[in-house]
Structure 1
Amino acid sequence: MISWRRVTEDDFPLLARWLAEPHVARWWNHETTAEAVARDFGPSARGAEPSQDWLASVDGVPCALVQRSFFADYPEYLDELGAFLDVPDGTLSLDYLIGERDLVGQGLGPRIIASAVAKAWADEPSATGIMIPVSTANQRSWRALEKAGLARIAEVELTPDNPVDDRAHVVYYLARPAGA
């Protein structure tokens, strides 16, 4: 069973450890010092910014992080993506990672994403859809999105999270289902 709770400052050492894992660092390209983690995750943990960071646990054991935000809350990101395709009002974005290396490749990614989507529909009644750009090179991520029910809608050129990657991204989308 997957359960969710908001990330707190007490989770920062766990996040730093996960961000340092090679399978995470490859795609997140994030500083892992205590100061960097506090700088980048602290505002969300304190409710001082619109992005929400969620810790996913399976059977009570933390294993993944999901960040959720409305594109409208981050105009620069919206403008970059909006140059290529329509981003409907009320569209959410999710970013995610499985922190525990031994859980990668076990089918957990699609389960986490599907659960995060269901949680987003429940928590955000104004959300009209979920759109997720992913580096074309990150096949594991976009396959998890497909298994979770999102559809590929575009191929675009965006600034990569990791400078070693080129600008090629695929974009996945799921409209809010009726009654959700």
Structure 2
Amino acid sequence: MTWRRVDENDFPLLAQWLSRPHVARWWNHDPSAEAVLRGFGPAARGEEPSEDLLASVDGRPFGLVQCCFLSDYPDYAAELATLADVPAGAMTIDYPIGDPDRTGHGLGTRMIESVLHRIWTVHPSATCVIVPVVAANRNSWRALERAGLRKTAEGDLEPDNPIDDPTHHLYRTDRP
């Protein structure tokens, strides 16, 4: 699995993925070109502290992972802190597999394992990774469990998609 930062040439692919039903259900993001530019442009240009990473296997992109230090987003960190301890150096990830033909084969788990390895290598100050997942998104939290993260809390957080119940599971893994 290889990783590279998303750039503006990837925006049409991201728009295509965001419009796919299996992604749109959990990533409540407008797939229009303008919205993708607005949502992903700042990170691609280095104007935002998060990383948007494209995951590929055999040179073929299949997924996206967003990584950031929670301290760079204090309001979000404070929301997570209502459910669990958010230590200094905590990071978080969010991830879809965009290509529907690549779902259901364990690739999500491999992608999470691989990005965790990348985080520990590229971000020496990262102490842990905390991932909130809406409780109804069973496939997502099962992939986290298979990748070795453990459920550390459950409670209400503002859902990304307003149709979802606010109940979330919080998963965590610490630097090995």
**TM-score bracket, shorter-length normalisation:** over 0.9
**Paired amino acid for 1:18:** W
Letter in 1 for 2:133: V
Q: Distance in 1 between matches of 2:125 and 2:70?
A: 13
- For residues 80 and 88 of structure 2, what CA distance do their matches in structure 1 show? 13
TM-score (norm 1): 0.97
Q: Aligned residue for 1:46?
A: 45
Structure 2 match to 1:84: 83
Distance 2:147 2:108 in 1: 8
Percentage of matched positions with identical amino acids: 57
The residue number in structure 1 matching 2:101 is 102
| Residue pairs, 1:75-154, within 5 angstroms | 75-154=74-153
Deviation at 1:84, TM superposition (A): 2.0
Long gaps (5+) in structure 2: none
8 A contact 2:93–2:130 mirrored in 1: yes
Residue in structure 2 matched with residue 171 of structure 1 by the alignment: 170
| Displacement after TM superposition at 1:121 (Å) | 0.5
Q: What is the CA–CA distance in structure 2 between the aligned matches of 1:84 and 1:118, rounded to whole Å?
A: 26
CA distance in structure 1 between the aligned counterparts of 2:113 and 2:142, rounded to whole angstroms: 13
Q: Residues of 1 paired with 2:11 and 2:40: CA distance?
A: 8
State the Cα distance separating 1:85 from its structure 2 match: 1.4
Matches within 5 A, 1:10-89: 10-89=9-88
Q: Is the contact between residue 84 and residue 152 of structure 2 (CA under 8 Å) also seen in structure 1?
A: no
Secondary structure of 1:67's aligned partner: strand
Unaligned runs of 5+ in 1: none
Distance in structure 2 (CA, Å) of the matches to 1:97 and 1:64 = 6
Q: Contact conserved, 2:55 with 2:111, CA < 8 A, in 1?
A: yes
> Secondary structure at 1:27's aligned position in 2?
coil
Report SS of the residue matched to 2:96.
strand
TM (normalized to structure 2)?
0.99
- Say which SS state the counterpart of residue 166 (structure 1) adopts: coil
Contact 2:8 2:41 (C-alpha < 8 Å) held by counterparts: yes
Name the count of aligned residue pairs.
176
Contact kept? 2:154, 2:168, Cα under 8 Å: yes
RMSD: 0.5
Code of the residue aligned with 1:25 in structure 2: it is A
State the Cα deviation string for residues 46-99 of structure 1 (Å, max 9, x = none). 000001000000110000000000110001101111122110110000000100
Give the letter aligned to residue 108 of structure 2: G
Asked if the contact 2:62/2:97 (under 8 Å) is kept, the reply is yes
